[in-house]
Amino acid sequence: MADIILGIESSCDDTSAAIIKDRVLMSNVIASQAVHKSYGGVVPELASRAHEQNIVPVISEAISQAGIQPEDISAIAFTRGPGLLGSLLVGTSFAKALAIALDKPLVMVNHLQGHVLAGFVREPDREVREPSFPFLCLLVSGGNSQIVKVNSPLDFEILGQTIDDAVGEAFDKCSKMMGLGYPGGPIIDKLAKQGNPDRFKFAKPHIPGLDYSFSGIKTSLLYFVRDEMAKDPEFMDKNREDICASFQKCLIDILMDKLIKAAKQTGIKEIAIGGGVSANSGLRNRIEEEGRKRGWNTYLPQFKFTTDNAAMIAIAGYFHYLNGERASLDVAPVSRVADF
């Protein structure tokens, strides 16, 4: 009998539901929230209210697209955290209610683990290359920047992580500071393609080991733009593309320097990336370039699996389900990784 997993993702501002059947994706429905753009970032209260409006139609559509009945579901996987507490509460509460109504088991999923395992989602009409274990995953998103050694689908070891801002935060905050808009990553990436990445230089942090820091480059860019604008008020308008290209190159250099170091230390040549920032064209090109140079086998997620989506929660839940793991009805969502 096939194992059919319903995945529910509500950690931030996207409400998503997906159905997988024995690791094959049957549906993946996402409702995004455009309301946050005018605020320059996600407003938690607005996000949780939108989840309440979206979660029933999103899950209904995912079940319909998969061509199954609710009773066919084997288990319900949901994002417990990390993320916005109000948003997580909506998904967690609905998952519990549905589990009770259908008399189905619950499986809780770490959102970050979902990003790492997104590359293991299979599709009916597409052959997927999957990394062999162990592999290194550069996990880069709006709230996290980590280098993870993945020994198996359920055995993760964090080798390095940010000690302050994540790389996605650096993109968003600097984009806002330069008046470019939100979300900053796609905007800066688009402008960077038209600029000279070697035009300007920004200070890079010197953090020992494999940990990251992105607060310093953010400050470096702030003072640089402020000083240049004091000399020429039109400096940003004249040099926007070159600034974005140089800034993005600096961020990618920081990420790759530690990833290269981790690969050398572990001897692992299976290299994957995951998370929202893994959609960045500059980072994807650099990963492939370093892979050719260093003999890595590189694995880049499809763009639709880089952002928050329930397919990655469903596949992570699938592995937990096969391992016999179940969540109790008194489980509570958590906003931080440390509380998971």
What single DSSP character describes residue 336?
S
Band (pLDDT 50/70/90 cuts) for residue 45 is confident
Nearest residue to 76 via CA among 100, 47, 112, 52: 100
Band (pLDDT 50/70/90 cuts) for residue 40 is low
- Give me the amino acid identity at 230: A
* Segment 255-280, tens digit of pLDDT: 999 999 999 999 999 999 999 999 99
User: Cα(243)–Cα(251) distance, rounded to whole angstroms?
Assistant: 12
Nearest residue to 260 via CA among 233, 286, 235, 299: 286
Per-residue b or e along 51-63, where b marks 16 or more CB atoms closer than 10 Å to that residue's CB = bbebbeebbeebb
Q: Residue 37: what pLDDT?
A: 66
Quick one: average pLDDT of 143-152? 95
Token look-up 């607005």 returns: 46
Question: Can you read off the two tokens belonging to residue 171?
Answer: 């993109």
DSSP 96-165: HHHHHHHT--EEEEEHHHHHHHGGG-BBTTB----PPSSEEEEEE-SS-EEEEEEEETTEEEEEEEBSS-
Q: Residue 34: what pLDDT?
A: 64
* Segment 93-121, tens digit of pLDDT: 999 999 999 999 999 999 999 999 999 99
Token look-up 């996600």 returns: 42
Per-residue b or e along 266-287, where b marks 16 or more CB atoms closer than 10 Å to that residue's CB = eebebbbbbbbbbbbebbbebb
DSSP 53-96: HHHHHHHHHHHHHHT--GGG--EEEEEEESS-HHHHHHHHHHHH
User: Cα(30)–Cα(24) distance, rounded to whole angstroms?
Assistant: 18
Is pLDDT of 70 > 80? yes
Asked if 275 and 306 touch (Cβ cutoff 8 Å), the reply is yes
Q: State how beta strands 75-81 and 106-110 pair.
A: parallel
* Segment 299-335, tens digit of pLDDT: 999 999 998 999 999 999 999 999 999 999 999 999 9
* Segment 213-263, tens digit of pLDDT: 998 898 899 899 999 999 999 999 999 999 999 999 999 999 999 999 999
User: Cα(212)–Cα(174) distance, rounded to whole angstroms?
Assistant: 17
* Segment 122-145, tens digit of pLDDT: 999 888 899 999 999 999 987 889
Element (H, E) at 233: none
